[in-house]
Amino acid sequence: MKIGVFDSGIGGLSIVNAIIAGIPDIEVDFKNDAENLPYGTKTPDELFALIKPIFQEFIDDGCRVIVIACNTVSTTLIERLRKTFTIPMVGLEPMVKPAADMTKSRVITVCATPTTLGSERYKYLKDRYANDIEVIEPDCSEWAALIENNQMNNQKIIDAIEPSLKKGSDVIVLGCTHYHWIEDSIRAIVGDRAAVIQPETAVVRQLNRVIERLG
């Protein structure tokens, strides 16, 4: 089965690796839009105009499912994309519910792009699952572009995360696929003070379900 995977840039490759490791015999067509990165500071309308032709290409290339390996696009546009294209889509979004289930301190941290944090879907997730929990959203607005250009460093992680840890946050949600590439550095800095979570396993599980349904 051939599937499409989309992200603005290298964030999506972390999802591609997880899919290839988890689903034997899958053919992955990965497309990105590095020319227009970062996506995380663009409006939903700007993103839709960029994405529409790329999604059409996936369909023209014979993909049967599209994995939107980008929290920014999933949280702002998945409904609109589903109305525009009939192909099944798997999206991913910040793991607010799992974090709310895990936290003992009742303080969690969500690292995500400004567009994700400003989306209706993210607000819904917080209202639904974390309304009695403190949710800290550090400024990670430059991270995706820095990671894409291999310019990220530990001090930037410390500056963003340490204040959350000092406030007692015991779960850190990686709500942008680019951040998967610095997961090990984040874990090394956080140590045993907090859990660090991201959705690769859940995405592969959901993709498997969609593939099974397609037969």
List interacting residues with ligand DGL (CB under 6 A): 7-9, 11, 37-40, 70-72, 113, 116, 144, 176-178
Smallest separation, CB 110 to ligand DGL (Å): 12
Smallest separation, CB 195 to ligand DGL (Å): 19
Give whichever of 68 and 136 is closer to ligand DGL, judged by the CB atom.
68
Q: Other C-beta atoms within 10 Å of 84: how many?
A: 14
Cα separation, 184 vs 76, in Å, equals: 28
Smallest separation, CB 158 to ligand DGL (Å): 21
- H or E element, residue 66: strand 65-68
Smallest separation, CB 1 to ligand DGL (Å): 24
Q: Which residues of 131-170 are buried (b: 16+ CB within 10 A; e: fewer)?
A: eebebbbbebbebbbbbbeeebeeebbeebbeebbeebbb
Cα separation, 7 vs 69, in Å, equals: 5
Catalytic residue among 63, 70, 111, 140: 70
Judge whether 70 counts as a catalytic residue.
Answer: yes
DSSP secondary structure string, 19-36? HHHHSTT-EEEEE--GGG
> Residue 159: phi, psi to the nearest 5?
-60, -40
CB 105 within 8 A of CB 170: yes
> Which residue sits closest to ligand DGL, CB atoms considered?
40
CA 175, 179, 181, 187 torsion-angle sign: negative
Residues acting as catalytic residues: 70, 176
